[in-house]
Every structure is written in structure tokens, then in C-alpha cells.
Chain A
Amino acid sequence: MNNLPFGKTWRLIPHDPRFSKPLRIMKISTCLLFAFVTGVQANGIAQKVTLKMKNARIEEALNAISKQSNLQLFYGENIDSKVRINVNLKDASVAAALNAVLKSNNIEYKIIANTISVNGKTIDHGASNSLQQTISGTVRDKEGKGLAGATVTVKGSSLSTQTDANGSFQISALSSATLIVRFVGYSTIEVPVNGRNAIAIVLATDERQIDEVVVTGLGGKIDRQNFTGATAKVNMKDVELGGLPDPSRSLEGRVAGVSVQNTSGTFGSAPKIRVRGATSIYGSSKPLWVVDGIIIEDVADVSSDALSSGDALTLISSAVAGLNANDIESFQVLKDGSATSIYGARAMGGVIVITTKKGAVGRNSFNYVGEFTSRDIPSYNSFNIMNSQEQMSMYQFMNQRGWLNLSDVSVASESGVYGKMYQMINAGKLENTETARNAYLRQAEYRNTDWFKELFSRNVMQNHSISLTSGTEKAQYYTSLSAINDPGWARQSGVKRYTAMFNAGYNLLDNLKLNLLANGSYRDQRAPGTLGQTIDVVNMEVKRDFDINPYSYAMNTSRTLDAKESYIRNYAPFNILNELRNNYMDINVGDYKFQGELSWKVLKQLELTAMGALRYQQSSQQHYVKDYSNQALAYRAMPNTIIRDKNPYLYKNPDDPYAVPVSVLPYGGIYNRTDYKMVSQNFRFNFNYNNTFNEVHKLYAFGGATVNNDTRNNDWYRGWGIQYDLGEIPFTDYHVFKKGQEENSDYFKVINTRNREVAFFGQANYTYDERYTLNGTLRYEGTNRLGKSTSARWLPTWNVAGLWNVHNEKFFKNWNSPINTLSFKASYSLTADRGPSFVTNSKAILESYNPWRPNAGDKETGLQIKDLENSLLTYEKKKEFNIGTSIGMFNNRLAIDVDYYTRKQHDLIGEINTQGLGGQISKYGNIAKMNSHGLELSVAGTILRNEDFSWNSSFIFTKAVNKITEMENHKQVVDLISGNGFGLQGYPVRSLFSIPFEKLDINGLPIFTGPDGPTTTGLNFQERDKIGYLKYEGPTEPTTMGSFGNIFGYKGFKLNVFFTYSFGNVVRLDPVYKTQYTDLTATTREFWDSWTVPGDELITNVPVMIDKRIVRNDRDYKYAYNAYNYSSVNIAKGDFIRLKDLSLSYDLPKNVVNSFKVSSLGFRLNVTNLWLLYADKRLNGQDPEFVNSGGVALPIPRQYTLTVRLGL
């Protein structure tokens, strides 16, 4: 277990339910409410207490008072618990009530900071020794906050006192005495006085002393001491990153075993999260998100690989983007099979359980958090891109090689300054003389446009969030509202998000509790218009048509262009600023959840819970391609016959042998709309049984059943010819439909999917004498995902685990070592996953299709067998063995957690060659195997601590490696060398391969080692069989990662320095090499090193900027240059060390704050992504985490956030 001492958990002293009579409580709560309204709630003495008891024990009476007055109760020692009392009070003050209960029994009480502390009366020894002195001191927590109400006792005597509201105390003791300091939730420590007058005492939180539970999310609550699985808990307040509103990003580097890769930083897109690495070869290996006991289903299935695609769908890929980070109390990450097996087939990729904040009895507060974030504009200085002067000289060089001449450029699909110049010459606006041309080009040479400045801004993102907590014995509330207004870092990337949360707990009866929760969020986001990413497998190009992503535009566009001018793209005029105004997407996401939970404590040991939840999520993406956007104009660009015949967006009627190309979009623009809708219903029933027999046998049993029903709907629609400028009237040319039919493309789609699931689960946990624990879990579940096949439908998963709490052994207690807690655990589990979403053919899958036919008149629809039946299809299975230990040392100042696991996975979905007599030679089935193992280490400790200064440090290390041990390869070369790569037998799950580059030949052309020896153009990117020649580069997912965090505290100041690191993966560099460059492209300075004259091949690897004549003679050189882009030269390591977060916070002292009539006020300034300490130089300043795929993908910028926290 990773008990990271990130925070403490408060617990109220349990009260005896026999006294809570409903009617009386009502009065008190009315009174309380009044007190709250008038703002004097802090003073408990103002409460009225009604008490009528006969022959009651003192504790009972005190509990009743505590409950009615909402004051906490704290017992000291020396209370005679056997004394019986009689009281009869009505509307008495708390003080009077306490006096009545305690006065005759030699017991003292104090009311400090909402806490009644009760102690046996100090007996005056009379013999006050001359060595006795008054000692003053403070008791603080690790963060330096004074602890009010802590008990300080002189060891061996009954002398005792309590700290005041600031944590200060005074006590008389001998200078040789030892003080014992106790406080709920903190470990008790003994401090020798050693003759000092002033003593600063810092208490460490002690999770062991509070009966903390591990929330596994399905209603089970198990004592952390007896929890056998590998898990880690982090509190939101310790990990939150200012200015990153998506809470999933804050997990980066915080939990051992969890990797978070920010492949895109755009709001709404999920980071790539892996718990203990990949668990499936074709599947997505994504962790399961559980919020307040409800599994958060994704509205659309976005595979892990697609997260870095930059497609519009990624904007709704984050499961928790609708959650306000300030509403989150904690994350609990369940890592091994022992912890996750209760989730069965969903949890092979780990589980992240989010618990939101709840109201608490007696705590009334109002909190405001405001965040103001400004993001740095990227600078060309950090990248290796040519400035306009260098670029222009490259163009001149290209010009010499036969490129950029008038006849080509004036009818080119893309052109920049040269194209503009020729246009002006043709239009008679520029003299066609060398002087005039040079003058024109000189302007461009000196232009040095800063595209980043044009497209990015430092606009301030604001995030305001208010929350209210209140609670009485009868009902507790937590409510919050938040609003984000982000005008956008890049143009057209603004976000507005509003969230609301209402969480109420009602104690209907003493043993019946109702919890109601409603949570909603609405998001309104703008993004640059984008189409999907496609891979041209023939030429090996990953591309996106009409891409206007501001970041990749700035990175790839020549600085010689004038930001105010239009140049040519897709044969039509193009200006990025104009295009972003006219081609954009609006994304609206609404996410609402209603949840109710009824718990009935049937017996003291048995609790039954029924829970129901409904979640509705809808998102719509409206992509506007307006009349004068380049994308619309490209569909009608035919200024002359040459372009008319070249423009691929025009349509040529195949029925007419003499047809000339015509536009299918003569007027207006395009309207694309994609909707995703999901209704998910969830019902669960479970029981919790917790009992201890004979004081040493502790049994915990938990079980239940759950039913899920998710209905998803996905609509896609493309409207042609909508005239945005003419009141949005559509004018659709009929050719669109004819063309669509001939190309077999649809203009709308509806996809409905239904997911149903039923599961039964149970867990038993037996502990002997708090030393030995044995745990077993079983889950039996069924889903409809595999169709009507009943054979594949049901799946059992299970685990067994054991735990040995060594520190509870006698020999350990007698052993005087710095280690104060020590436990070992081991678990073995079988868990499973349903496998990739496209393999569901336990019954044959028939799909409708439109067979390709040469003429529109021959068309018909049909059904075809998409997948043959595989009656033996089953779940992907994982066997996991986990061992771990937790060590606490030096009074828990140092906590070490280590886990090691090894996994054997079988029945993984892979491809297999069959005899093909069903019509498919290559099929998917449960044939692959994989092994993985990993080590997780987290060390947290207090390095320095004194009265004013503290230094806490934490180090997290994760190693996770995997290897496919059995699988046939059916992937093409293109899949193995691009993007995330793909696994082969003997290699990790996502491995990247390269085409081995040999050398440049004497003409400066690259030579590769192909399957049949050296070759320049003879590579087939679609080859599946002869792939042995490819060079293995490494996995694309890091194998080693973690963080190093330091928190320095000085009085109210806190400085947080947080580093993350990641090693072991490789990154494919941007494919920049081409046979032909336009005068639009920006090139890196590496092009200076390109081969120019024979002999250069000995000193450079950068191929020749090829002569136009050569390309014209052999178009196959395209293959060579694309192969070069994916060769062993064009790759870098993904390793990095990053100063992820640097923050300085300051909490104003209480006395200052109170004078403003507020209870707390704090400021924090943090800088995220400040400094990349180490990264491969070949990346040229690119963020190794970020995948620059265009579309809607943006990196996480360096950003500065000011956070204001105000409590009332």
C-alpha cells in the first residue's frame, strides 16, 4: 500500500445513537441554523442543551451534550467510567450542562475551538519542586498549522493541559520531565523537556490511528490495516495543479505505478493514463474511472492510441473533464488484481476511484477559490526553425534546382510568396523584371513573421469556484458551483465550463441513511475546424486535410509569409487568421448525474445498501465551414482549366465520357454535426458485514449485485451548400449525392449501441489478531457485448491475498528499531477484460453495406458477414502476483512503500491465420500471450522540521515493462513504423520500428536496408510478411517514470518544487522530408546539412533536396523520402526530466485574517511546465510528451497561475 502522508482525514468521535431522539435534534438544528445565519456559530457555549437522564454513565451524558451542541468531544485520561449520574436540564447552556454532569465527579472540562475536552481534575501535589518550571510551547501539524485542542500531559503524572486555538500551551513540569502530546488523527509523541522553556512540537498524521478505510468504490469499505491489495490514495489538495481544470492531469507522477502522458493538453482531451502499463495488445488498456461509486462510462470509445490523433473526438475523451477539481476529496488508485477484482472484467487496466467532498456534522464553511492563469506564448527561440532570411535563401536554392518556377507555382495546389509574386505578375501588379521580383522577395526575406504571436495570446483563464459545507446531526450538505472562462491560449480554443454539485446525507432514522447526490456540468468549447487524421498506407503519409491547428501551423509555416495576405492552399486562397474565423467547431457537452443511496444498518455488524444512479451525457460538435473558408472554396476552385483538371475536390461525371469537372459545392459552405448521447443507468445492492469475535477474529464480508444499462447514440451528419452569409439557407447541388453514391460515402450516419451488464460479487476478509489477514474476492458477471451467445457471456474472476502486519507481532514490539510499522502482503488474482471493442463475434456479426458498383443505377444495399462466429471467444485474462511491503520509520517520519508484481496474460486477442474456409484467413481470437512485471516504490519523509521551517520530500519510482510472448504478426510495415507503433512477438505491446537507414548514395539519396538488400525506393509499406528487416527502436510508452517532490514550509509560506521524470520510450520525429517543398513550408535548420555536392554523403545523413528533373522522371522517390521520415535516423528518445510545478503559497495568519472577518485567506502562485531539464536534443525543443498531430491537439504550455482561497 502506498500510504502517502499527503493529508489527514478527520473523524468525528462516534456518538451513541440511543440518544438521538428526532424531535429534540430538530430544535437544536433550528437553533444551529439560526446561529449560522447570524454568524456566531463559532461559539459553542451559546448552544442550548436539553438533557434528561437517570443512572447514565458520564460518557453517555457527554455524548448527548456533544451531539446537541455540535461540539467535538475529547476525552483525556483519568475519567472514572463507572460513575453513574442523574441529570435533568432543559434549554441549559452547554457550560451549565457540563457542570451538572461533571462537577461532582472531580472532572474538568474546557471548551476550545469547538472541542470539549474532558480530563480528570489535576490533583495538586502541593510539593511544588523548585526545579518545576512553566514550559510554553506550540503544537503544530506538518504544514505548520497550529493544532487546537491537543492534549499535553506530563509523563508519569496527571498534569495535563490543552492547546488553544493557535496551538499554544503552557504547562508546569520538571525540566527532566517528558511531555506526552496526543491529538486525534495524529500519532502520539513523547518529547523530553531537557530543560527548555519553549518547545515546538510537530505532530505527524497517523493514518493508522484513525480507522481509515479503503474505498474500493462499489460500496465496500475495508479497514486499511487489513487491505491486501496494492492501492494508493492521494488527496486532491495535495496534487492539484493550478490552471489545469481537468483533474485527471494532476495524477502525473503522483502515484507509483500510474503513468500519465499528456499527448495533448487541450481541455477535454484525456491524457494517456496507464495503471501498471498495457494490459491488452489490441485493446485500449484504459483505467476504469469510478466517481462516488459509479463507473464513469465513456460516451464514445476513444482508444488509447486515438488519444494522440488530434481528432475532434478527443475533445470528449476525458471521463472526468466535467468534474470540478475543487469538489474532489481524493483519488484512490487500485492497481493489482486483488484490489480491482471486485470490478471484474472492467478493471484489468486498473481503477481510479474518485471520492467527492461531503458535508460533515458541525462543520459550516463557505469557500471560494479563484484561479487566474496566463500561458506563455511559445517562442521560435526554443525551436530549430529557420527564420525568414534563412528560409528565403533556401527557396532560392530550391529555385536553382528547378522548383518554384512560374509555370508550376502559378497552378500549384499550395504556394506562398513565390506563388503570390507570380500571381501579381500575371495580374500586372508587379513588373516581371528581375529588379521588381527581387524587391518583392526582399520584403518577404525581412518579414520574419512570428506566427506564434499571431495565433497565441496570454489571455487570462479564470476559474471561480464556491462551495458550501454545512451539516447537522440530521442532515449534511455539500454544495458547490464553479465556472471556468478561458478565452483560449490559441485562437479559437476558448472554453467555458460550469459545474454544480449537490451532495446531501440525511439520517432518516438512527439506522437508516439516505444520500442524495446531483452533479452537473455544461461545457461550451470552441476549436479550430478539423477533419479526421488519415494514414495514406500507399505512400506512407500520416495526414489531415485542411488542417488549421494553430500550433502546427506556426511550427510548419514559412516565416516569409505575411499574416495579412492570402496565399494558396488546395488551389484556393488561404489565410490562417481568416480561416480560423471561418472554419471552426463548437462543442457543447452536458453531463448530469443523479444518484441516491439508502443504507440500512440492520444490525450493528451488518449494513445493507441500495443505490441507484442515472447519468446523462450529451455532446454535440458543430463544425462550421463557412462560405469563404478555404475548405469551402477548395470545392469550387477552378480559375483555369489546368487547375480545374487537377483539383481533386471537383467532380467528374463518370457516365459522360466528355464530362469536365464541376463543383459539388458551387455556393455556400459545409455544416458537419456529430452528436454523442449516452444514458447510463446503474443499480446496485450490497451488504457489508463487519464483526470481531473473541476480540481476535475479525471478519469482514462484503457482497452484492449490480445491474448496468448504457444506451449510446451517435449521429453524424454533413450538410452541403449551407449559405452562412445568406441567412443559413441551404443550396445543395445534386452532384453531391451522385458523387457520394459513386464513392460509397454517406452523408449521415446513426449508430446506436446498448451495453448491459449484470454482476454478482463478494469479498471476505479475515484477520487474526490484527496480524494476519486473508482475503478472497469472487465476481461473476455477464454482459450483452458478445451478442446472444450465452457461452461467452459469463465470466468469473477471483483473487486470494494475504497480509502480515509485522508491527503487531510481540517480538516486533519488543524489538527496539527505528521501524515502527512494517507489513507484508501478497496477492494472486485472475482478472479479465472484454478485449478490444471491435472483437465481439461470439456470434457471427452481420452488417449492412453498400457494395461498390460502377454506376449509380446498379447500386443496392446488402448484408455481409463482417466477422464469422467464434463460439469460443472469451475474455482476455490476466493472472497477477503481487508482493508488497509498507514500512514506517522514525515515528512515521519516513514512509516507504514497495510493490513488485508479475503478470502473465493469456487469451489476449490477437490475429491468427486460419485455413480461411469461412472466408476470412486472418481472424481475431484469444491466441496471444503477454508477460509483464514492474516495481513501484514510493518514499515520503520529513527531512527537516522545526518550529517555523519544514521540509517534506517525496520520491516516486515506477518501472513497468511488458513483452508479448505469443502472437502472430499481421500488421503492415506502416503500422509498425508510425504513430504508437505496434507489438510483435518478443517485443513490448507498443513498439516502434524503423526502416534501417544505411547511408546516402553518391547522389545524396537515402539507401535503406530493405527485405531484399539495399534499396532506395523499393519498400512496400503495406507488406505484412517480410518485416524482419525493420529495426526495433523501443517502446512508445515509457517504462520508467515517477516524480520527486519537495515542500518547504516557513511560517505561512509554502514552496512546492515538483519534478516529474519519464524514461524508456522513443518518439518518432515529425516527418519533414519530402521530394518537393513548397514556398509555404517552414523547414528546420537541419536542411542546411543536406547533401549538396558529391562527397557530402560522407559527412551528412540528410538527403539531397532533390532536383525537379529527377522527380519528374521517377515519382517513386516519394517512397524513398517517406521511408527516410520513418527511418532509424528520424527518431529520438522520449526521456525527460521536467520541473512540472513550482508553486509558492502563503496563508495569511489567523489573527490577521480574522480581522477581515474571514476565516482563512491564502494565495498561491504556481508555474506549470516551467523547465524541461532534460530531453533528447534531437527533439529540437518539442515537448516529448506531446504528439504534434494537428487537429485540436495543443501542448500543455508553460503557464502561470494565481490562486486565491478564501474561507468564511
Chain B
Amino acid sequence: MKTKFLNILLLSGCFIGFTSCNKYLDELPDNRAELNNADKIGKILTSAYPTSSYVMTAELSSDNVDDYGSTNPYSSRLSGQMFNWSEITEKDNDDINEFWMASYKAISSANAALEAIEKAGNPENLKPQRGEALVARAYNHFMLVNLFGKHYNHSTSKSDLGVTYMTKPETTLSPKYQRNTVAEVYDNVVKDLEEGIPLIDDAAYANSATAKYHFNKTAAYAFAARVYLFMGEWQKAADYASKALGDPAESLRNYAQVAAFAADQSNAAREYNSSTLKANFLLFSPYSSLGLMFGAYYTESRYNHNAVIARKETLFAIAPYLAPSNWPGIESGTIQIGSTNYRIRAYVYGGTNIDKALLPRFPYLFEFTDPVAQTGFARTTMTELTSEEALLTRAEANIHLKNYEVAIQDMQLWAGNTVTFASKMTVEGINNWGNHFAYYTPKVPTPKKKLNNPEYTIETGTQENMIHAVLFMRRIHTLHTGLRWFDIKRYGIEVYRRTLSGGTVGSVSSDVLTTNDNRRAIQLPQDVINAGLTPNPR
């Protein structure tokens, strides 16, 4: 009798116990957050931007750098692999491994936010967050596919290997994925972008300074302009660039503010990337030693932007906005464009084992983890989207659309704000400039490089010359920032590997990056391939 009663008591106790246990155990163990309100969903989007950058890989792969020669000890295995288009196996904060992780981590944050918004039933008040998340997701995939895939085109992109487009956070330990094609990634990018842009609301950000670290409306337009430019959708590119720019004269870089810090290259670079400049649309602060590589240091001076390139192709070369009367003087060397002819000045470092011609783009900053041992992480700031890029994108699109005069206006605006010597540009003047040069060869370099993209129908003569001119300006504006690599991919420009000798071109490697070279798609990180993702063909 007694035991029966007890048994019942025990069993019922167990039953009640089990059912209420799950509730009891639902208490969170620590201060981990849950995405259950608008504020927190907004906060997670702070991490929807990569904390490592593709810049070093893209820049060192491009034609903006030469090899100083093996006698220069200031290089690393990593920069050597990047320069020689080898598979990148070395690890560093600037390697592709970090960029891969940082981009996908940012995508995970965006996906987490989108999932939470979905769960909350897509309410009205979460629209700005949803917009930011979509655009951020699109941006990260876009940069991944452009670094690790071949350039977008209408014919082969449907089969070219792109990257996996992640639309949900990862939930298992080591899932295996298939890569989407380049075309699929672009489709998704466009879809997310078009859906996200109208939702973005700048008022959702804490203040105007922090809004620069998020996709604000302007940044989103500028990014859309980049996407459509890369797709060859010229009209859309021009439209979005216009939206980003508003009145372009208003959003041009205020060089007076930067020039005050010109005494120190790093300070100038920091100020160049200041959140208070209207010209800066989207800012990142990645882990990177780009500030050393493109700063006043010996570090990584072996593969760098040197005086030879600067004189023949970029900073100090004959520019389309340079008055033709000066051209012979430049060619004979009697006239030189000086550092101070640039409004924030260029920095030229020459000497034994150093030959750097730099614009202040990346400050060398340091996040101390141990101030006493002076150890920590190298950091830099960078402006991912600028008004100048949007301006030149619009110009380029307009050239493809054959609106040459409109394009020249934008180019003039850019030139006038960048250098002190800009003369008035005309279609005729640019034709003169273009026709002045023979096509580039590695031994006889010129700013005019063969454009090999069969998808683009470019008329020889004015249109081609205009494109050479706008690419010249883009090259200067995006110097060190890696975007030149994507221009090379877009136009199928061949890249040569040169070794300098005594300030001139010494030898040229027979290994040329041809138009259809598979190495234009950077190989995936070794760890990722080992974990089973399909590598790029080689």
C-alpha cells in the first residue's frame, strides 16, 4: 500500500520534473546576446563588414608593382607569392585566408540579422536594418567572387566557378558546400542589392561618423554603381553613381583638411580616411600592415609602386589633363611633376633597397594588446567607396554610352581636385593624348594598355582613348587600394612581371598573365580546399 503510493508519487514527480526541466534549463548561462529587438539587430550589423582586406592580394597581383630584385631583403614570402600569382599559402593578417574568413563572418552576421528580422515578421521598424543587411551581404559576396572568380561576362560566367552564396548562418560543425557560378553570385548580388537599397535609412545609425562604417544610402548607391560597372550595365552604373554623388562638386574631397597633416605620411593617410570627409562613403578599419607596405618604411619595399611605374604610367607620367606643351619635357626628363603637384602631395622614397612612390592611402596604426611589450595588431583604415570612384565610374559608363562631353566634365572635376596642374580637357585633347602613345610593352611602358575584353565593343579612336584616360585616372585614384586589379580583369589587360635594375627595367619574366589566364581568379585558401571546396582550375 505504502509503496504503491510512493511509486505513484515518484512517477508523477518525475513526469512533472521532466516537463518543467526544459523550461528551467532555458535560462541563458552567460551574457551572450539574443537577437530579439531592433537595437540588437542593428548592432550585429556592425560586424557585417570585413575586418581583413583583399587589398594586398589584389594590389600585388596588379601592374601597379614591380620587383626591385632579390637583392632587396625587404619582402616576405607572402608578398612574393602574391606578386608571382602563385598559390598563397603563407599566413598573415593580409592573406586571403583572413579575407575569406572575414568576409564570410560578415555575411554570417548579415544572415543572422536577416533571420532575426524574418522571425520577427519583417516589421516596418526593422526595414533599415534589413536593407543594410541585404546590401552588406551583397557587398561581401561581390568582393569574394571578384577576387576568387573570373570576371563576370555574359558567355562563360554561367559555368565559371564563383563562390558559395550564403543565405543562412552555418549551423553545423563542418558542412560541405558547392560553389555557385559567377553568374549565380551576380544574380544574387543584384537581387539583394536592389531589394536592400530602398530600405536603407541613414537615420538608423548612431551618428554621421559611425554611419560611415555602415552602408549608408550614399555608400549603397556607390556600391551599386560599382556592381553595374563590373557587369557592363553602363546606364545603371551611371544612374547609381549620380544618385551617390548628388552634386559632385559638393562631395569632392576636401584636400585642405588632409593637407594640414601632410608632414607625416601616416597622419595624412589617417586624415585621408577620416569619417568627417564627405568624399568618403564607406570606411573600414581592417587588421592589416598595408600602412607599412605603402608607408614610409622599408617594409615590403621589394614589390612596390616604384619610380619607374610612377614616371611612365601613373603619378608622374604624362596625364591627359597635363598641358601638351609639357609632354616633351616630361619625356626628356627636363620637367618633372613633383610630389607637391598632388593636392595632398605624393611621397617618394628612394635609396638603397627602397623605391616607393606613394599616395597617402593607408596609415600605419596599431592596436596594442600589450602596450609595455609594444605588441598588438597592425591596423589601418581604408575608404572602400569614395566619391571619386563614383565620379570616374560615371565617366567610364558615359564613355561606353558615348556621352563623351558628360564624361569629360566628371573627369575634369576629378583632375582639378587631385592635382594642381590640371588643364582643360577636351575630346580632342584626349584623342591627342591617346594617340601620342604606342601600346604598352614591358620594356617601353606607356599608360596605354591593350584592352582585350571581347564583350566590350570599344571603338578605336575616341572611345578607346577616352577609356584609356579614365582608366589612367582610376589607376591614380585607386593606387595601392587594389581596385586596379579588377580594372585589369575587366578589360583583360595583360600583366608582365618586371625586375628593376638601377632604376630602369632590368628583365621581364616570360611568365605573363594573359587575358584568359586562370590565375586571374585567385586560388582559394589552402585550408578551405583541404576541407573539400572545389579549387579553381590551374
Q: Measuring CB to CB, which residues of chain A are less than 8 angstroms from any residue of chain B? A: 534, 536-539, 541, 543, 545, 602-603, 606, 608, 648-649, 654, 657, 685, 687, 705, 707, 743-744, 751-758, 760, 782-788, 790, 793, 840, 844-849, 851-855, 857-866, 868-873, 912-923, 925-927, 1024-1025
Min C-beta distance of B524 to chain A, whole Å: 9
Min C-beta distance of B219 to chain A, whole Å: 15
Could you say which of A840, A854, A862 contacts B47, with CB atoms under 8 Å apart?
Answer: A862
User: Roughly how many angstroms separate A753 CA and B32 CA in the complex, as a whole number?
Assistant: 10
Most buried by A among B43, B91, B164, B261: B43
Contacts A687-B10, A784-B28, A869-B171 known; list 14 others, CB within 8 Å.
A543-B373, A602-B2, A602-B3, A648-B374, A754-B27, A848-B43, A860-B210, A860-B213, A862-B47, A913-B530, A915-B177, A919-B102, A919-B103, A920-B101
Across the interface, which residues of B come within 8 angstroms of A608, CB to CB?
6
Min C-beta distance of A474 to chain B, whole Å: 26
Across the interface, which residues of A come within 8 angstroms of B22, CB to CB?
782, 790, 793
User: Roughly how many angstroms separate A654 CA and B365 CA in the complex, as a whole number?
Assistant: 10
Q: Tell me if A782 and B371 are in contact (CB < 8 A).
A: no
Given the interface pairs A758-B17, A851-B285, the reply to whether A865 lies near B173 with Cβ below 8 Å is no
Across the interface, which residues of B come within 8 angstroms of A648, CB to CB?
371-372, 374
Across the interface, which residues of B come within 8 angstroms of A926, CB to CB?
173
Most buried by B among A705, A852, A864: A864
Q: Tell me if B101 and A919 are in contact (CB < 8 A).
A: yes
User: Roughly how many angstroms separate A872 CA and B172 CA in the complex, as a whole number?
Assistant: 6
Q: Tell me if A744 and B527 are in contact (CB < 8 A).
A: no
User: Roughly how many angstroms separate A891 CA and B417 CA in the complex, as a whole number?
Assistant: 104
Q: Who on chain B is nearest to A570 by CB?
A: B372
User: Roughly how many angstroms separate A847 CA and B44 CA in the complex, as a whole number?
Assistant: 9
Across the interface, which residues of A come within 8 angstroms of B40, CB to CB?
863
Across the interface, which residues of A come within 8 angstroms of B34, CB to CB?
846
User: Roughly how many angstroms separate A707 CA and B23 CA in the complex, as a whole number?
Assistant: 13
In the complex, per-residue mask of B75-100: 1 if CB is within 8 Å of any chain A CB, else 0: 00000000000000001000001001
Could you say which of B25, B43, B209, B533 contacts A793, with CB atoms under 8 Å apart?
Answer: B25
Min C-beta distance of B367 to chain A, whole Å: 5
Across the interface, which residues of B come within 8 angstroms of A755, CB to CB?
29
User: Roughly how many angstroms separate A1094 CA and B264 CA in the complex, as a whole number?
Assistant: 46
Which of B1-53 touch A at CB < 8 Å? Answer: 2-3, 6, 10, 13-14, 17, 21-22, 24-35, 40, 43-47, 51
User: Roughly how many angstroms separate A787 CA and B210 CA in the complex, as a whole number?
Assistant: 32
Q: Tell me if B171 and A539 are in contact (CB < 8 A).
A: no
Q: Tell me if A917 and B44 are in contact (CB < 8 A).
A: no
User: Roughly how many angstroms separate A630 CA and B34 CA in the complex, as a whole number?
Assistant: 44
Could you say which of A543, A649, A840, A849 contacts B29, with CB atoms under 8 Å apart?
Answer: A840
Q: Tell me if A923 and B164 are in contact (CB < 8 A).
A: no
Q: Tell me if A863 and B44 are in contact (CB < 8 A).
A: yes
Min C-beta distance of A913 to chain B, whole Å: 5
User: Roughly how many angstroms separate A858 CA and B206 CA in the complex, as a whole number?
Assistant: 10
A-B interface pairs (CB < 8 A), number: 243
In the complex, per-residue mask of B516-538: 1 if CB is within 8 Å of any chain A CB, else 0: 00000000010110111100000
Would you call B105 an interface residue if the criterion is a C-beta within 8 Å of the partner chain's C-beta atoms? yes
Given the interface pairs A853-B285, A921-B527, the reply to whether A649 lies near B372 with Cβ below 8 Å is yes
Q: Tell me if B46 and A862 are in contact (CB < 8 A).
A: yes
Across the interface, which residues of B come within 8 angstroms of A752, CB to CB?
30-31
Given the interface pairs A855-B275, A863-B33, the reply to whether A917 lies near B27 with Cβ below 8 Å is no
Which of B198-218 touch A at CB < 8 Å? Answer: 206, 209-210, 212-213
Q: Tell me if B381 and A854 are in contact (CB < 8 A).
A: yes
Across the interface, which residues of B come within 8 angstroms of A758, CB to CB?
17, 21, 24-25
Q: Who on chain A is nearest to B210 by CB?
A: A860
Across the interface, which residues of B come within 8 angstroms of A790, CB to CB?
22
Q: Who on chain B is nearest to A657 by CB?
A: B267
Q: Tell me if A536 and B530 are in contact (CB < 8 A).
A: no
Would you call B109 an interface residue if the criterion is a C-beta within 8 Å of the partner chain's C-beta atoms? yes
User: Roughly how many angstroms separate A685 CA and B17 CA in the complex, as a whole number?
Assistant: 12
Q: Tell me if A854 and B24 are in contact (CB < 8 A).
A: no
Q: Tell me if B368 and A858 are in contact (CB < 8 A).
A: no
Across the interface, which residues of A come within 8 angstroms of B57, CB to CB?
none
Q: Tell me if A865 and B263 are in contact (CB < 8 A).
A: no
Min C-beta distance of B348 to chain A, whole Å: 21
Most buried by A among B177, B210, B263, B274: B210
Min C-beta distance of B239 to chain A, whole Å: 31
Q: Tell me if A539 and B373 are in contact (CB < 8 A).
A: yes
Closest 8 CB pairs of A and B: A862-B46, A919-B105, A918-B170, A864-B47, A925-B173, A863-B44, A919-B104, A914-B174
User: Roughly how many angstroms separate A687 CA and B34 CA in the complex, as a whole number?
Assistant: 40
In the complex, per-residue mask of B96-118: 1 if CB is within 8 Å of any chain A CB, else 0: 01001111111111001000000
Q: Tell me if B30 and A862 are in contact (CB < 8 A).
A: no
Q: Tell me if A536 and B375 are in contact (CB < 8 A).
A: yes
Which of B495-535 touch A at CB < 8 Å? Answer: 525, 527-528, 530-533
User: Roughly how many angstroms separate A475 CA and B300 CA in the complex, as a whole number?
Assistant: 83
Q: Tell me if B368 and A743 are in contact (CB < 8 A).
A: yes
Q: Who on chain B is nearest to A857 by CB?
A: B209
Q: What is the total number of residues of chain B having a CB less than 8 Å from a CB of chain A?
A: 86
User: Roughly how many angstroms separate A705 CA and B9 CA in the complex, as a whole number?
Assistant: 13
Q: Who on chain A is nearest to B41 by CB?
A: A863
Across the interface, which residues of A come within 8 angstroms of B177, CB to CB?
915, 917
Would you call B370 an interface residue if the criterion is a C-beta within 8 Å of the partner chain's C-beta atoms? yes
Min C-beta distance of A775 to chain B, whole Å: 21
Min C-beta distance of A55 to chain B, whole Å: 29
User: Roughly how many angstroms separate A1024 CA and B90 CA in the complex, as a whole number?
Assistant: 11
Q: Tell me if A927 and B173 are in contact (CB < 8 A).
A: yes
Which of B331-390 touch A at CB < 8 Å? Answer: 363, 365, 367-368, 370-375, 379, 381
User: Roughly how many angstroms separate A872 CA and B170 CA in the complex, as a whole number?
Assistant: 12
Could you say which of B105, B176, B263, B528 contacts A657, with CB atoms under 8 Å apart?
Answer: B263
Would you call B416 an interface residue if the criterion is a C-beta within 8 Å of the partner chain's C-beta atoms? no
Q: Who on chain A is nearest to B214 by CB?
A: A860
Across the interface, which residues of A come within 8 angstroms of B104, CB to CB?
916-919
Q: Tell me if B14 and A705 are in contact (CB < 8 A).
A: yes
Across the interface, which residues of A come within 8 angstroms of B97, CB to CB?
921
Q: Tell me if B528 and A915 are in contact (CB < 8 A).
A: yes
User: Roughly how many angstroms separate A923 CA and B103 CA in the complex, as a whole number?
Assistant: 16
Q: Tell me if B6 and A602 are in contact (CB < 8 A).
A: yes
Q: List 7 A-B contacts (CB under 8 A).
A: A707-B24, A760-B14, A783-B25, A790-B22, A863-B33, A873-B173, A915-B174
Across the interface, which residues of A come within 8 angstroms of B267, CB to CB?
657
User: Roughly how many angstroms separate A752 CA and B107 CA in the complex, as a whole number?
Assistant: 29
Across the interface, which residues of A come within 8 angstroms of B109, CB to CB?
863-865, 919
Across the interface, which residues of A come within 8 angstroms of B212, CB to CB?
858
Q: Tell me if A917 and B164 are in contact (CB < 8 A).
A: yes
Across the interface, which residues of B come within 8 angstroms of A870, CB to CB?
171-173
Would you call B427 an interface residue if the criterion is a C-beta within 8 Å of the partner chain's C-beta atoms? no
Q: Tell me if A851 and B170 are in contact (CB < 8 A).
A: no
Across the interface, which residues of A come within 8 angstroms of B283, CB to CB?
858
Q: Who on chain A is nearest to B374 by CB?
A: A648
Across the interface, which residues of A come within 8 angstroms of B375, CB to CB?
536-539
Q: Tell me if A919 and B107 are in contact (CB < 8 A).
A: yes
Given the interface pairs A543-B373, A868-B108, A915-B177, the reply to whether A846 lies near B44 with Cβ below 8 Å is yes
User: Roughly how many angstroms separate A538 CA and B93 CA in the complex, as a whole number?
Assistant: 14
Would you call B429 an interface residue if the criterion is a C-beta within 8 Å of the partner chain's C-beta atoms? no
Q: Who on chain A is nearest to B102 by CB?
A: A919
Most buried by B among A602, A861, A869, A872: A869
Q: Who on chain B is nearest to A851 by CB?
A: B46
Q: Tell me if A916 and B528 are in contact (CB < 8 A).
A: yes
Q: Tell me if B531 and A853 are in contact (CB < 8 A).
A: no
Q: Tell me if A787 and B28 are in contact (CB < 8 A).
A: yes
Q: Tell me if B210 and A919 are in contact (CB < 8 A).
A: no
Min C-beta distance of A194 to chain B, whole Å: 58
Q: Tell me if A845 and B29 are in contact (CB < 8 A).
A: no
User: Roughly how many angstroms separate A757 CA and B32 CA in the complex, as a whole number?
Assistant: 19
Q: Tell me if A756 and B530 are in contact (CB < 8 A).
A: no
User: Roughly how many angstroms separate A873 CA and B2 CA in the complex, as a whole number?
Assistant: 44
Q: Tell me if B44 and A862 are in contact (CB < 8 A).
A: yes
User: Roughly how many angstroms separate A855 CA and B277 CA in the complex, as a whole number?
Assistant: 14
